[in-house]
Structure 1
Amino acid sequence: MNIDSLELSIIQVYASTEASSDEELEFFYSTADKAIQLSEKNFIVLGDFNAKIGQTNPNETVTGNHGYGDRNCRGNRLIDFAHENNFAIMNTIFKKTNKQRWTWISPNGKIKNEIDYILTNLHRNIYDIQVLNITYPPDHRPMRASLNIVPKTKSRRKFGQCPRFQLKNEEEVETYKQTLNSNLINLLENRRDEDTVQNYYDDIINAINNSLKKAHEVSSNRNSVKNQVLSARTKALICRRQELQRTKPKSRTMKNELKALYKLISKRINLDYKVHRIRIIEKHLNTTNSVKKAYKEIRTQNMD
């Protein structure tokens, strides 16, 4: 479907119950994978997964911090499915009371579970998930996702004359002013009688753009240091993940590798930044003997 400027596929699913065999469960997920391959770039997969995710794990990049109940084996399989397709399980993103979380109730009314989920690669566009407390015969409660449709942005190719770089700090602003002043002086000194108004306009635009580029280079050394925070191993893992993401269709082995990469890369990035912070602190302790300056440098790099 096409909603305004957003092309979106909505896939409704129903997984077999816990009493079914593992073969039936894998057939369900393989069918879901085929539906995803035929869908648009943006999609939502929702329905009864007959799985309990329970309390979430901080190392799981596909879940938020809010789970309900205990996890079962089907819940682990659903987590794997989300990792394989880089989904976010939206039920776990938003904080709700227990009364607002359960989606299924047993016939005797004593057992309540959360087994219906909304998964999507548009997690930034969904700003709320609600379980509707509607009384009617089925043992499931309906869910509602609030989706924000972002207007289609204009192509930047239409703004070819706009400055490409924004000045980020006072150092860049000062460099820009000095460079622009120098460029304009050179422009006035090299004026030619045969130049037209259009020539003057083009020269001024070039002077502005060149000054912005020069100012941008001020922080290039700082950015290069920031890029060196990630180790060669982490960068290689990120490249491998990007390669697998572009590969379609994916085999089961590739999906398992991709799932593992999401977890491993997240851990590696956290470790690299921890090592980088320790390196800065040690440098300042050996040179300035000031931890305060070390944390100031770390905060400055984080802001950049």
Structure 2
Amino acid sequence: MKIKLVFGGFSLHVCSVYAPQVSLDEKAKENFWEDLDEVVRSLPSSEKIVIVGDFNGHIRVLLGVYNNVHGGYCYGDRNCEGAAMLDFARAFGLVVVNLSFLKKEDHLITFQSAIAKTLIDFLLLRKGDRGLCKDSKVISSDHLSTLYRLLLMDLSIKKCKTRRVWECHPRIKWGA
């Protein structure tokens, strides 16, 4: 699902995704990535995008391999689905922003059953928009299923006084 929000001088596309489960065949997974590829390619590079959802993938801190798309914090081991998500992010110049903040384990886990705790939900932004995400967290609620937890992002959107969006959102240099 994709929603386009227009804020004064710029557009924000919010894409909610649900990747095929690990047990499904490779064709279903390939179709998912092709469809998501098509959605991202169809958006002008000048417009902002947030991709949020259940990627059914696990990733862990991988020194040097995905430094440019991975915030450095994670939980659990990596699987093929997690690697596919990181490859997708790298190919489109995206960054996984909910892995950019040091959190307690309880604020990373998005699915918890009697036999497993996992982090399978992720928030992706374009690298140039990384500064818009001020924080992310996972919260549990009595109003939600006991297995799933809600992933939230604090997104800072400033009112633009000019028609040029890049003048309202100065680039922030990340890293060394």
TM-score (norm 1): 0.48
Amino acid at match of 1:32: L
Cα distance in 2, alignment partners of residues 154 and 24 from structure 1: 44
Cα distance in 2, alignment partners of residues 27 and 143 from structure 1: 25
Farther-moved stretch of structure 1 (36-45 vs 86-95): 36-45
Matching of residue 85 in structure 1 with residue 89 in structure 2: no
> Of 106, 118, 122, which aligns to 1:117?
122
Superposed CA deviations along residues 148-189 of structure 1, whole A, max 9, x for unmatched, are: 113325379xxxxxxxxxxxxxxxxxxxxxxxxxxxxxxxxx
Cα distance in 2, alignment partners of residues 56 and 97 from structure 1: 19
Superposed CA deviations along residues 50-90 of structure 1, whole A, max 9, x for unmatched, are: 00012233341101111111111111111100001110101
Farther-moved stretch of structure 1 (118-127 vs 144-153): 144-153
Amino acid at match of 1:152: C
> Of 39, 43, 57, which aligns to 2:49?
43
Matching of residue 22 in structure 1 with residue 23 in structure 2: no
Q: Which has a greater percent of helix?
A: 1
SS at match of 1:19: coil
Structure whose CA Rg is larger: 1
SS at match of 1:13: strand
SS at match of 1:55: coil
Query: Residues 73 and 155 of structure 1: is their aligned pair in 2 closer, same or farther, counting only changes over 3 Å?
Result: closer
SS at match of 2:85: helix
Q: How does 1:248-287 map to 2 (within 5 A)?
A: none
Number of the residue aligned with 2:172: none
User: Contact (CA 8 Å) 2:9, 2:162: kept in 1 or not?
Assistant: no
Matching of residue 154 in structure 1 with residue 162 in structure 2: yes
Cα distance in 2, alignment partners of residues 46 and 27 from structure 1: 18
Number of the residue aligned with 1:33: 37
TM-score (norm 2): 0.81
Query: Residues 31 and 138 of structure 1: is their aligned pair in 2 closer, same or farther, counting only changes over 3 Å?
Result: farther
**By how many angstroms is 1:123 displaced?**
1.1
Q: How does 1:288-303 map to 2 (within 5 A)?
A: none
Q: Which has a greater percent of strand?
A: 2
SS at match of 1:124: helix
Number of the residue aligned with 2:101: 94
**By how many angstroms is 1:138 displaced?**
5.6
Number of the residue aligned with 1:52: 58
Number of the residue aligned with 2:11: 7
**By how many angstroms is 1:38 displaced?**
3.0
Number of the residue aligned with 1:137: 145
Q: How does 1:135-284 map to 2 (within 5 A)?
A: 135=142, 136-137=144-145, 139-152=147-160, 154=162
User: Contact (CA 8 Å) 2:135, 2:154: kept in 1 or not?
Assistant: yes
Gaps of 5+ in 1: 157-269, 271-304
Cα distance in 1, alignment partners of residues 79 and 163 from structure 2: 47
Number of the residue aligned with 1:164: none
Amino acid at match of 2:152: R
Cα distance in 1, alignment partners of residues 24 and 119 from structure 2: 19
Matching of residue 71 in structure 1 with residue 78 in structure 2: yes
User: Contact (CA 8 Å) 2:9, 2:163: kept in 1 or not?
Assistant: no
Larger RCO (CA under 8 A, 6+ residues apart): 2
User: Contact (CA 8 Å) 1:48, 1:115: kept in 2 or not?
Assistant: yes
User: Contact (CA 8 Å) 1:56, 1:66: kept in 2 or not?
Assistant: no
Identical counterparts, % of pairs? 25
Q: How many residues align?
A: 155
CA-based RMSD: 1.9
